[in-house]
Amino acid sequence: MKTMNDTIETQPGKPCPICGKPAAHELRPFCSRRCADVDLNRWLSGVYAVPVKEEDDEDGAPSEQNARTTRQGNDNA
């Protein structure tokens, strides 16, 4: 009888996002400590970034920074 751990370890998973090799179970989603460290370095150095959309304040008015940027853009036109 197979246990859940046996099934997880033998199922083919997604490849390592850094090098494409099969991922190691203990380092998922990476295949090695090196690839995990490469990924961490990319996050820390700013290569990866989560896009941010500036939104209006709670009252619906543009934020002060947003308003300044808009005014400066209109002054240059």
Q: What are the residues facing 22 on neighbouring strands?
A: 15
| Burial letters 28-55, b for 16+ CB under 10 A, else e | eebbeeebbeebeeeeeeeeeeeeeeee
Q: Is the pLDDT of residue 61 over 50?
A: yes
Maximum CA extent, the chain: 74
Q: 0.85 cut: is pTM over it? A: no
pLDDT for 18-60, tens place per residue?
Answer: 999 999 999 999 999 999 999 999 999 999 888 888 876 666 6
Note the pLDDT of residue 16. Answer: 97
